[in-house]
Amino acid sequence: MPWDERYAFRDCPWCGLTNTRLETIAIDQQVVDKWGKIRSWATLGCPACGNAVLVRHGAQDSDDSKAYEVVPTSSHAKTVINHLPEDVARYYNDALLVLRVGVPDAAAVQLRRTLEAAAAHYDIREKVLMKSIERLIDDGHVTRSFGPLLHHIRSIGNVGAHASDERVDQETAGRALRFTTQLLRNLFEVPGELKELTEGGATVRSK
């Protein structure tokens, strides 16, 4: 039997619930393509957020024992950044992890460290996080369009430094994460990809 209940052990791509088994709502739902070939899909449900996930699986009468497409794809894909230096990636991944399990204060601390480590790669080490990011913009390492959005990271600037600090809620930490993701793409992914293009034999015109 090609549908295997093991396929239901997966993280919820909607709400990020991890280490869980999604509920199997239906299996072997058949969709016929234009060549008459049947594709089988299972519908899974998340017990936390109530959203549905589709998994394509092998036909019942075949010995095809694989799970194929999962729709939607995991929210992890949205946060994957290429060419991220290892030290920055470590803090960033920690931030993702604690935000997923619902500890926004801890996520804020890890995001602050992520941004500090990122700025340090450009030899910027201001005492105040906002100043470091402003310098990244002033020095032209990131586009000016980040400027008006800096308030999204104001809340994480000194969180965790004192017990009396203002707490950060999930939504605020979520926005700080989105800002951080885009900033890291601009700082590391774009230059990294362009460098690969150059090394890949593209014509480089000198001034």
Q: Residues 64, 58: contact at Cβ < 8 Å? A: yes
Residue 25 engages Zn ion in binding (rule: CB under 5 A): no
Which one of the spans 18-26, 44-52, 167-175, 178-186 is the region binding Zn ion (CB under 5 A)? 44-52
- Closer of 12 and 107 to Zn ion (Cβ): 12
Q: Which residues are CB-contacts of 171 (< 8 A; sequence separation ≥ 6)?
A: none
- Closer of 12 and 106 to Zn ion (Cβ): 12
Distance CA 107, CA 86 (A): 18
Residues touching Zn ion, count (CB under 5 A): 7
From the CB of residue 79, how many other CB atoms can be counted at a distance below 10 Å?
17
Distance CA 117, CA 111 (A): 10
Binding residue for Zn ion, selected from 7, 11, 12, 173, defined by CB under 5 A: 12
174 CB-contact burial (10 Å; exposed 0-12 / middle 13-18 / buried 19+): middle
Binding residue for Zn ion, selected from 1, 25, 26, 49, defined by CB under 5 A: 49
Q: Which two tokens stand for residue 69?
A: 């497409």
Which one of the spans 8-16, 75-83, 155-163, 177-185 is the region binding Zn ion (CB under 5 A)? 8-16
Site string for Zn ion, 165-194 (x = CB under 5 A): ------------------------------
Interface with Zn ion by CB under 5 A: which residues?
12, 14-15, 17, 46, 48-49
